[in-house]
Each structure stands twice: as C-alpha cells, then as structure tokens.
Structure 1
Amino acid sequence: MLIYNTTFQVDDAVHDNFLIWIKESYIPEVQKHGTLKAPRICRILSHRDEGSSYSLQWEVESSGLLHRWHMEQGVRLNDELKKIFKDKVVGFPTLMEIVE
C-alpha cells in the first residue's frame, strides 16, 4: 500500500475558501474515481510566518494505479485548483510507501 500526499501552502486570503473547496468539491470528485481511498487532511504545524500548510493524504494500491488516476482525473483537478486559486495555493506531491 502507498500513501499519495499533496502538501498545500495556502495564502491567508483564500484559506477558508480553499478548505471549503477541498472538502466539498475536490475530495468527493476524487472519490468518484475509486482509485484513491481513505482521504485525510492534516494541518502542518511547522512554524510559518505567513499562510497555512495542509497535507492531503490518500491510500493507493500501486504507482501504476496512481499514474492512471493522474492522467484520467488528476491533471484536470490540478488545472481547476490553479484556475480558482491562482498563485494563492501551491501544492506539491509526494508518494510514500508504508513500511510498518
């Protein structure tokens, strides 16, 4: 099992709207695809001078399935994120393997 994590840096000006969008639009849309499972949103508590950081984690069975999801849905959703929030939200993905 793998964990697909996206860390988002969110500008204070769009913070509330970002959380609404991620919970009410993004996560339900991803769940419709059925590839990524068990979403978890975590606030990152590391010290930051401005904005907030969040980690959105999903379980996925393989990197091949993740790649298929990315091509079929992920690119479109990332474009939507950029269209809505412009440079006020920046995300970067990390793929992790569960060791224990």
Structure 2
Amino acid sequence: MVIYNVTVNVEEEVHNEWKSWMQKEQIPAMLATGKFTKALMTKVLAREPMGGVTYSIQYTAESMAHLKTFYVENHADMVAKTAPFKGKFVEFTTELQVIDQQ
C-alpha cells in the first residue's frame, strides 16, 4: 500500500471556498479515478510563518503501480481543476510506503 500525500497551504481569503471545493469536488474526483481506495483530509495545526491555512490530503493506493497509472492517466486533469485557485495556494506532494498498520 502507498499513500499519495498532498500538502497544501491556501491563502486565508479563499480558504473556505477552497476547503468546500476539495471536500465536494476534488477529493471525490480523485477517488473516482479508481486509483485510490480512500482519502483522509487533515488540517495542519502548526502556524506557518507565511500565513495561510495548511492541509494534508492523503490518498491511499493499493500499489505503486496504481499511483504510477494515476500520474499517466489522471494527474494533468486533476491539476487543471485547481485553476480557479491559481496563485492562491502552494503545495508539495510526497509518496509514502505503508510499512505497518495497527
């Protein structure tokens, strides 16, 4: 199992709109690709010196092959959907391998 983690810092003036969009549109669209089995959205509690509100969205994939297929087949479309918020957020992604779950 692997986790595709997207950490996003979004400007406060669009925060509520962005959060609603993530929950109602983007996360369901990511799950609809069929490459992920679940998603977890968390708010980072630490304050960033640059301001804004930070979230971590973790998408679980059955294997690295599923994640690689997502990159080839869906990633560009998912990025394009963020256009309404262009310039209002920064993000970075991390790929994580699940070693143990208890």
Structure 2 residue identity aligned to 1:92: F
| Percent identity between the two aligned chains | 27
Matches within 5 A, 1:36-47: 36-47=36-47
Task: Look up the SS of the partner of 1:96 in the other structure.
Answer: strand
User: Is structure 2 residue 72 aligned with structure 1 residue 71?
Assistant: yes
> Following superposition of structure 1 onto structure 2, how do residues 49-60 of structure 1 map, counting pairs within 5 Å?
49=49, 50-60=51-61
2-structure distance, mates of 1:47, 1:19: 17
Counterpart for residue 33 of structure 1 = 33
- Give 1 or 2: higher helix fraction: 1
Alpha-carbon shift at residue 47 of structure 1 (Å):
2.3
Consecutive unaligned residues in structure 1, runs of 5 or more: none
Computed over aligned residues only, the root mean square deviation of the Cα atoms, in angstroms, reads 1.2
- Aligned-residue offset at 1:31: 1.6
Per the alignment, residue 97 of structure 2 pairs with: 97
> 1:76-91 counterparts in 2 under 5 A?
76-81=77-82, 83-91=83-91
Count of aligned pairs? 99
The one-letter code of the counterpart of 1:19 is K
Greater mean deviation of Cα atoms: 3-12 or 26-35 = 26-35
- 5+ residue gaps, structure 2, are none
TM-score normalised by the chain length of structure 1: 0.91
**Hey, which bits of structure 1, 4+ residues long, moved more than 2 A?**
none
Whole-Å separation in 2 of the counterparts to 1:96 and 1:12:
28
Residue 16 (1) aligns with residue 16 (2):
yes
TM-score, with normalisation over the residues of structure 2? 0.89
1:70 and 1:38 map into 2 onto residues whose CA distance is: 17
